[in-house]
Structure 1
Amino acid sequence: MFFHKKRNVHGLILLDKPSGMSSNQALQKVKSIFNAKKAGYIGTLDPLATGMLPICFGECAKFSSYLTESNKRYHVIAKLGEKTSTSDSYGIVIEKRPILFTNFQLNASIKELTGLINQIPSMYSAIKYNGIPLYKYARQGLNIKRKIRKVMIYSIDSVIQKDNLIEFTVLCSKGTYIRTLIEDLGEKLGCGAHVIFLRRLQVASYSYTKLVKITDLYKLLNKNNTKNINFFQKIDNLLMPIDSPVSFLPEVYLSCTESYHFKLGQIVNYQSNIKNSLVRVIEKKDKKFIGLGRINTEALLIPYRLVSIY
């Protein structure tokens, strides 16, 4: 690319990750297009998967953990009767079994997989063991003992089963592996199963309508490749605010004097009906988000996490 000096970019974009690309590959492409110094993604999507991949730029990364902890919604299609080495269609078929379950057994199995359940993450996951992702061990034919984790499956809806395919949407907690969910469902049904389509529809409360495709970013780049400033203005307009990951928290507004002390990390006297809660702190004059604070019962606003660009 023709840009040289990296830019300080701050905000969040909801990328519509394409299939066939790792989350990190998608991140690097977007980071390069924005010519950004610092960026990171939230919630790894498998190469097979598409859909919502939040990317935080600059100071926004300070608040990304609130999205990491959030619930996710997926649309999944699985093939029944075949178990693969990776629990998805990227692996090789290691077992074939007939599809003999009844509708009653299907409903019972889905019910068993709803609520608080145990999962053993796939060897082809990005979980690290001794600092190395499990999938790298798996590619060498190694099997590492994984800890059972508890995850919450809030709902499995719109279930359609026809012939050797099953399709549904699932709302789940952080840390849920949809490939593992499908593999477990296949075992309960006695036929095996693997994921052939996976799309993340939602992270926290972010709207599906705000997704941006890499191809759209490249189109803007090609149209403006001789007008760098114009291009950056256009793509920066696609960014959501720095405080997007914490938009569920209440706002408080500070005067210039109060903001000055708060930004220095000093406690500010603040009368509010909010008690013992984190709040988004906004500078009243410029309507700028300057960080998170905590209001305690003594009517004090205590700096919690500050934005360092103002």
Structure 2
Amino acid sequence: MQVNNHLNINGILLLDKPNGISSNYALQKIKHIFNSNKVGYTGTLDPLATGMLPICFGEATKFSQYLINANKRYLVIARLGKRTDTADAYGNVLKENLINFTKQNLYTVLESFKGVISQVPPMFSAIKYKGCPLYKYARKGIVIKRDSRLITIYELKIIKYIDDELELEISCSKGTYIRTLIEDIGEKLGCSAHVAALRRLQVAHCSINKMITLDQINNLYSVFIKTGFSLKELVNQLILPIDSQLSHLPMINLLPDLANKFKQGQSIIFIDKTIQEGFVRVIESKLCKFIGVAKIINNYMYPHRLLNNYLDDKQI
């Protein structure tokens, strides 16, 4: 199915990506369904992974970086005893080890990965080296030296541990590779490990209850057409407001005069000790309308990303 091409869509769709397809393939499906050119996703999910893949339409693409930089939450099943070249179930087994650790060892190892840690990104990743994704080098057997990066693991909770299967819930910062984390945990346990299944539960404060699958979108389209609803009403049912991806940022309300200065790109004196320096989302108080993102530096609020003035308070 395909939505009418006269609709100008601006907002966020929280797609529940299925297993077995790439994030880009899922994006192309969404582009076809909604007949939209200006659309992109934030935070790549591996083909093996399922769950929350935020799709940004229209003006929402301007603000996608704030979702990319947000914290995320995952549910992962680790298969113990085997290490693979991709660190997941799709890869070739490189080595096998006996699983020989106590539950106390497990708790101690998991505790050691909490907080700020150093992580080396995997070769099978979309990080680019000389303009080419690392996974393309990896497929040719070429290993590129990667710099380590600091990430934060906020929570590492055991959900279930039976035989060679360890299920964990993980809350982490941007830039965290769950495959690498599981591989590193396996090495520290002395038994090796890889990701058998992975589901992203949350990005920033986006609710898991707002996610929708490709099949559900197609089914809803059929229902709306049969019952005589307009396609615009369908889009309004599925597309979340642009600033829904920014709920993790502090909110600043501006009166009309200051809001107009802000929309014209002018900086504004800002003194509020309850809000730290950094990014904030800005609302025009009289209209209760999102107008952009600002950055607070040294008691000044500078426009960083602005919504186009032609947009009204509707999503489309």
Question: Which interval holds the TM-score relative to the shorter structure?
Answer: 0.7 to 0.9
- Alpha-carbon distance in 1 for matches of 2:96, 2:130: 34
5 Å matches for 1:1-310?
Answer: 5=5, 7-224=7-224, 230-247=230-247, 248-255=249-256, 259-266=259-266, 279-293=280-294, 302-310=302-310
Q: Deviations over 1:201-253 (max 9, x none)?
A: 11112221111111111112333458998124212332221122323322314
**Quick check: 2:2–2:33 contact (8 Å CA) kept in 1?**
no
- Alpha-carbon distance in 1 for matches of 2:134, 2:296: 42
**Quick check: 1:279–1:293 contact (8 Å CA) kept in 2?**
yes
1:179 positional shift = 0.6
1:2 positional shift = 5.7
- Alpha-carbon distance in 2 for matches of 1:301, 1:97: 56
Q: Deviations over 1:256-287 (max 9, x none)?
A: x6555543334568998877675443345543
Structure 1 residues 153 and 260, CA gap change in structure 2 (3 angstroms): closer
- Alpha-carbon distance in 2 for matches of 1:295, 1:118: 29
- Alpha-carbon distance in 2 for matches of 1:187, 1:124: 18
Q: Deviations over 1:43-70 (max 9, x none)?
A: 1111100111111111112222222111
**Quick check: 2:16–2:212 contact (8 Å CA) kept in 1?**
yes
Alignment RMSD: 2.8
Amino acid at match of 1:121: P
Amino acid at match of 2:289: K
Structure 1 residues 297 and 230, CA gap change in structure 2 (3 angstroms): same
**Quick check: 2:115–2:152 contact (8 Å CA) kept in 1?**
yes
Q: Deviations over 1:12-64 (max 9, x none)?
A: 12111111111111112112212223111111111100111111111112222
Amino acid at match of 1:292: V
User: For 1:116, what is the secondary structure of its paired residue?
Assistant: strand
- Alpha-carbon distance in 2 for matches of 1:6, 1:147: 46
Structure 1 residues 148 and 277, CA gap change in structure 2 (3 angstroms): closer
**Quick check: 1:252–1:279 contact (8 Å CA) kept in 2?**
no
- Alpha-carbon distance in 2 for matches of 1:193, 1:16: 26
Structure 1 residues 228 and 67, CA gap change in structure 2 (3 angstroms): farther
**Quick check: 2:2–2:32 contact (8 Å CA) kept in 1?**
no
- Alpha-carbon distance in 2 for matches of 1:97, 1:295: 52
**Quick check: 1:123–1:144 contact (8 Å CA) kept in 2?**
yes
**Quick check: 1:15–1:212 contact (8 Å CA) kept in 2?**
yes
Amino acid at match of 1:42: T
User: For 1:198, what is the secondary structure of its paired residue?
Assistant: strand
- Alpha-carbon distance in 1 for matches of 2:101, 2:220: 51
- Count of matched residue pairs: 308
Under a length normalisation based on structure 2, what TM-score does the superposition of the two structures give? 0.86
Under a length normalisation based on structure 1, what TM-score does the superposition of the two structures give? 0.88
Identify unmatched segments of 5+ residues in structure 2. 311-316
- Alpha-carbon distance in 2 for matches of 1:277, 1:85: 39
1:147 positional shift = 1.1
User: For 1:50, what is the secondary structure of its paired residue?
Assistant: strand
**Quick check: 1:8–1:37 contact (8 Å CA) kept in 2?**
no
- Alpha-carbon distance in 1 for matches of 2:188, 2:296: 49
